[in-house]
Structure 1
Amino acid sequence: MSDLGQSLSVSATALKAQSQRLRHVSENIANVDTPGYRRKLISFEEVARGPDAGGVETSRVHLSRKDLEEIFDPSHPMADETGHFDGSNVNLVVELADAREAQRSYEANLKMFEQARQMSSSLLDLLRR
């Protein structure tokens, strides 16, 4: 595979991985007030073989092992006899920071993809002459 084709492939895998990351961050934000919800974590792994070698892919989704927040609200339907129930372990500030990082990484990979596409197009134009 040519270097330009390889860079397009690497950019495409990174775009897909960041979009999946952003999807999980969005789910975490949406469930910040859901009792018993555990934060979803996703990590990236390098693709070692195949047409996307050198790119990234997402690993399995893992649930955060951080303790759930204990909330005191005796009127809540899920409260036990002491008036407590388990909230979520999602920190909104962390999720917003992760969302911003994923967005910026996505934009950087999109720019890299566009540059490689423009270079490929320019090369084809030169070869036609």
Structure 2
Amino acid sequence: MWQTLAISQSGMDVEQLRAEVASRNIANANVAAAPGAVLAKPMRVVTQPAGFGQALDRASSDVPAGGVRAALVESDAQPRKVLDPSNPLADAQGYVQYAGVNTLDEMFSLTMAVRSYEANVTAFNAARSMMQKALDIGGKQ
């Protein structure tokens, strides 16, 4: 019974992480770096279902069977180079490097995360309502 709520909760946790990562990537999209300096790497959220194998190993997992688990990985996107010789961070050829973030993709990811989060909240509330109704029915006997 409680596992239904835990599955929706794991989905909400993953979508919250996805929204936070997309927001971080958007915030770093226009941060320039000096030649040779380390650029902010765009991050990606990789998800996988928490299936039966993880259910057998409950001691080390806080994700219920049927839930979702997530991991953060660095994107391999190449830095974006913009010709701006007047910028003090420009290299010898006049190019300034920015993180390899596609803001359109990140906005899409952010929108999808918000919609998926809302869907998980709806499922959570429906399961909670059904549990409440079952308790009400059981209490009337």
TM-score, normalization: structure 2?
Answer: 0.83
Who is 1:38 aligned against? 41
Contact 2:83 2:95 survives alignment (8 Å): yes
Tell me the matched-pair count: 125
The CA distance in 2 between the partners of 1:98 and 1:80, in whole Å, is: 32
What secondary structure does 2:135 align onto? helix
The CA distance in 1 between the partners of 2:115 and 2:139, in whole Å, is: 36
Who is 2:36 aligned against? none
| Structure 2 counterpart of 1:91, from 102, 126, 135 | 102
What secondary structure does 1:66 align onto? coil
Q: Which has the higher strand share?
A: 2
The alpha carbon displacement at 1:94 in A equals: 0.7
Deviates more, 1:65-74 or 1:44-53: 44-53
What secondary structure does 1:82 align onto? coil
The alpha carbon displacement at 1:78 in A equals: 1.8
- Identity across the alignment (%): 30
The aligned amino acid for 1:55 is: G
Deviates more, 1:93-102 or 1:67-76: 67-76
Q: CA RMSD, aligned part only? A: 1.3
For 1:1-129, what aligned pairs fall within 5 Å after superposition? Answer: 4-35=1-32, 36-47=39-50, 48-49=54-55, 50=58, 52-59=64-71, 61-129=72-140
The alpha carbon displacement at 1:75 in A equals: 2.0
The alpha carbon displacement at 1:8 in A equals: 0.7
The aligned amino acid for 1:24 is: V
Contact 2:26 2:101 survives alignment (8 Å): yes
The alpha carbon displacement at 1:98 in A equals: 0.6
Listed as ranges, the gaps of 5+ residues in structure 2 are: 33-38
TM-score, normalization: structure 1?
Answer: 0.90
The CA distance in 1 between the partners of 2:91 and 2:110, in whole Å, is: 34
